[in-house]
Structure formats: C-alpha cells, structure tokens
Amino acid sequence: MVTYIKGRGDRNLRDLVDLETGVVSREVYVNEDIYAQELEQIYGRAWLLVGHESQVENPGDFVLGRMGEEEVILTRDRKGQIHVFLNTCRHRGMKVCRYDDGNALVFTCPFHAWTYDTDGRLVGVPHHHDAYFDELDKSQWGLAEVAQMCNYYGSIWATWDPKAPSFEDYLGPFKQTVRWAFQASDGTDAGVELYKPAQRWRLPSNWKFGAFSFAGDSAHAAMTHLSVNAAAIGPQGEVEGGGRHPLAAPFPSKRGYMSSRELGHVGQLAIYEQPGVADYRDTWLLEPGVDDYWRETREIKKQKFANEFLHMQSDGQFHIWPNATMSDWRILMWHPHGVGMTESWRQYQVDKNAPKHVKDAKRRYVMRYCGPAGITESDDMENWNYAHPASLGMVAQRYPYNFQLGLHHNHYDERIPGVTIGDRGPSEENQRARLRRWVEFMEAGSWDDIFPVRKNGKSNGKPRGGNGISSSW
C-alpha cells in the first residue's frame, strides 16, 4: 500500500522522511491527514501497553486505560481472567464505564441499560422478552474486546489486530529488557506492582515529541534540565552536587544508543564488560532505613546473576514501539489526542514486597521528579509544547527537522544481536530508527508487510544482526 498525504498535493511519505541524510519534514509531526492515518496504521495494528495486573488484583476490579485515542477497560472477570474492552456500548455507543477504577459485578450502560458482565458478555437487555421477542442474539453484542492480549511478567499489552505477531516476537531483541523492567530489585520476575493511580495530563504537542524525539535524546538534558539541580531532588539530597538521579556504583560497561531498526524499539542501555550486577551504593541518605532494603535485595540479585551478562538490562530508558517509554522505575505513555495534543500518562513500578517506608520514599521521589509537577519533567513539557506551534506555519514547514546527530556512526555488536549501537556521544540514531519503523507502518497494507521485517529489505525472516553500518532502506 502506498500512502499519500492529502491536503497539499499528493506526495509519498518517503518524500518526507529521508534517513539517508537525516532530514525529516515537519509535516510528519503536524499534518492532520498524516495523523488520521497514524491512528489506523499504527494504533490499529501495534501492540500497546494497557496497564499492569496489579491494577486489577481481584475479580471484578477494573481500571480505565487507553489505546491510541480510544478508552479501554482493563478488568478481571469473576473467574480471574484479565480482559481489555473498548469502553463503548454496542447499542448506541455510550461509555459503559465512567469510573476511573473500582470493582464491578457488571458494566451497566446508563443510556438504555444494556449490561455487560466483566467477561464482556452482554447479559442484560431491557425488554429482551417482551419487545425484542427474544430475537436479539446477545452473544453477538458483547463488549468489543482486543484481538490479542498478553500478560508479560505482569504488564498487560494488547492489539486490535488479530494478525499481529506474538508479543514476544514483536519485542524481538528487547524482550529481556521489558521483562527486567517488571522484575523486583532482587531479580524476581513479575515482582513489582504499580503505584495507583496513573498521572494523566494534556500536553499540547504531537504524540511523537514524547514517543520519538525523547527516544534516546540525551542531547536535550543539559540545556532543558539546567535548573533541576538547583532543587536537589535526588534521594541523596545535596550530596555530590544534588543530582536528580540516585547515586550508583560504577560497573564496567559501555553505554550507548541501541536500536532495533527492524522493529522500532530503542533504548539508552548498556553492554557489560563483565558478568554480574553492580554493587549497591547508598543513596537514600535523607530517608533512614531505605538503603538497607535495596542493599539486601541487590545482594540477592548479585548472587542470582553472578555469571550472566545482563546486556540491555532495564537500568536505562527504553522505548517500545510505538508509544511506551519505560525503565525499571517508571512508565511513560504518550497517547495521541489529536494531531497537536498528547495525553501523557505516568506510572511507577515498585517492589511488591518492599516495606512501607521503602515504598513511601520511592513514591515521594517519583512525584517530585515526574509528571506535570515534576521538577525535572516540567522543563520537558515547555520544550515539547512550543516546538509544535512553531512548526505549524506555512513557511516553517518548508524547513525540515534535523536528525543528523551521530548519523552513520552506529554499528553492530555481536553481544546484542539485532541491535545497532551508537556509543560515541549523543546520537539521534534511536529517533531515526523510530522514524524508519514509522514509515513502514504507515505504508503497510497488513502485518504481512512489516513482520518479521520489511519485505523490500534483505530480510531472511529474522531481525538482522551482523556488523557494518547500514541505514539504507
């Protein structure tokens, strides 16, 4: 399928994204026709992060989530099975759930009272006998459920496309990275829960500013976050200059910008020069007793992985295609909400079994760091916000964005197959990888065209590894 942009003459999307030269038209971020196509081509097709099983611990628990522009209900039915449903009544479209979270026996539509069990079945229709004459087949009119759902170490992902590959295949070389993001600090799989509820707010900017431009954009930190250290928000307080991140012990590693060009997942992660896990370094200097817990769990983790190379473990930040940004302590979601608006969500993991004083200390840290009141993140919001209107103008759109930082300086490393790495200073290779995948999704007629990898590439059906520099299509 060839995708044309209506509106200003028919042009091919590839005219707008030139990754050979690292030049990308602003229209990719601001054109309304492109945005409308994204909802269908990307959000109708990709695996999306919906939430976490800890949000629906008990039968009947539910919480509202989002997939693209649309609201979904994440719920656990009476038999304990987790589901994701579109939050709309099959009769005339009313929202069947208008509570942010809670516990329900059924979802009853307040319009004409059709009612749905937590497993999605339509169980009650007024006048079914006396006016529908028992002719309405309730089994055909249950809530719309996602085509596929995956509980991945506690995190819940879903897609509307029945042809999408399995979630593990979708993650490719990032499957361990995502797994680790839901490990407890002692290395126990599925060992975290999310603090409740999600912070949700509107950022007047295209969703790709968060989801793409933030993907490995360490070049922004120095200037954007110039004011943060004045506030000394890290758990160590004023120690060592009052940085915003916890103190960490050194461990021989090579950090870099890692991207799966084939799949669009990217990260700022590390390759380790030796097996095992770094020592714990005390950092919660303002919160008595907190370091004791992390030190103990780190010891357990060190023993567990003493002989393993944890390449690409989730201690850095990474981005799962298309709109989830994660690390081992926070999850950032960038939901499209119109071409010039993003609904930004923040959720935070914490060890399920951590004692209260540890959970409290970490909770207070994430609240002062992240979100619209975050001392760090509030600076990002201003920059993403005003990049949007300043890109809208007729003249402004003649001038493309520059994505040339580190162009053609990525390479492969046999220790992380399928992933290219840029390890010589800041690089926008991750952002280019996202844009490459973006064009593929936007052009694809179906999943057959984009998985395992693009058809017009030289794929053998597996994500490519090997050496050498390649950024051609």
Partner 1 sequence: MTTEGGAPKSERKRVNTPDGMFIRDMPEGTKLELKNGDLVEVTLNARDGGWLVGRVVESERPESVGTEDWIFFAEVAAEIEA
Partner 2 sequence: MTVQSAETAWERMLLEREIERFLYDEAAMLDERRFSDWGDLLAEDIHYHMPIRRNVKFGEQHRENTDTESEISWFDEGKRTLMGRVRQLNTGVHWPEEPFSRVRHIITNVRVLAVDGDEVEVSSNFFVWSNRLRDECVMFIGTRNDILRRDSETGWKIAKRLILLDQNVLLAKVFSTFF
Residues that bind partner 1 (CB under 8 A): 104-106, 108, 113, 115, 123-124, 126
What is the total residue count of the chain? 473
Question: Which parts of 60-219 fold into alpha helices (H)?
Answer: 167-171, 175-181, 207-211
Question: Do the Cβ atoms of 70 and 91 come closer than 8 Å?
Answer: no
CA distances from 94 to 3, 125, 335, 380 (A): 33, 15, 21, 36
Report the site for Fe ion in 370-389 (rule: CB under 5 A).
Answer: 380
Helix axes 356-369 and 290-304, enclosed angle (nearest 10): 100
Minimum distance from residue 78 beta carbon to partner 2 (Å): 18
Smallest separation, CB 220 to Fe ion (Å): 6
Q: Taking CB under 8 A as the rule, which mask of x and - marks residues 346-375 in contact with partner 2?
A: --x-------x--xx--xx-xxx--xxx-x
Cβ 112 to ligand FES shortest distance, Å:
3
Question: Measured between alpha carbons, how far is residue 458 from residues 262, 463, 471 in Å?
Answer: 11, 10, 13
Q: Could you say which of 23, 94, 144, 387 contacts ligand FES (CB under 6 A)?
A: 94
Return the one option of partner 2, partner 1, ligand FES, none that residue 232 interacts with (CB less than 5 to 8 A, by type): partner 2
C-alpha span between 97 and 62 (Å, rounded): 9
- Rank residues 113 and 373 by Cβ distance to partner 1 and give the closer one: 113
Q: Choose the one of Fe ion, partner 2, partner 1, none that binds residue 432, judging by a C-beta under 5 to 8 angstroms depending on kind.
A: none
Residue 35 half-sphere exposure, CB side, CA atoms within 13 Å?
Answer: 20
Contact partner, 109, from Fe ion, ligand FES, partner 2, none, Cβ < 5-8 Å per class: ligand FES
Burial category of 357 from C-beta neighbours within 10 Å (exposed 0-12, middle 13-18, buried 19 and up): middle
Q: Which is nearer to partner 2, 190 or 228 (CB)?
A: 228
Question: What is the closest distance, in whole angstroms, from the C-beta atom of residue 219 to partner 1 in the complex?
Answer: 52
For 292-351, the DSSP string reads HHHHHHHHHHHHHTTT---TT-TTSEEEETTTEEE-SS-EEEEEE-STT-EEEEEE-EEE
User: Contacting partner 2 (CB under 8 A), which of 128, 200, 254, 302?
Assistant: 200
Element (H, E) at 440: helix 429-443
Smallest gap, in angstroms, from Cβ of residue 179 to ligand FES? 40
Which residue's CB comes closest to Fe ion? 380
Could you list the residues that contact ligand FES (CB under 6 A)? Answer: 89, 91-94, 109, 111-114
Could you list the residues that contact partner 2 (CB under 8 A)? Answer: 98-102, 195-204, 224, 226-228, 230-233, 237, 286, 343, 348, 356, 359-360, 363-364, 366-368, 371-373, 375, 378-379, 381-383, 385-386
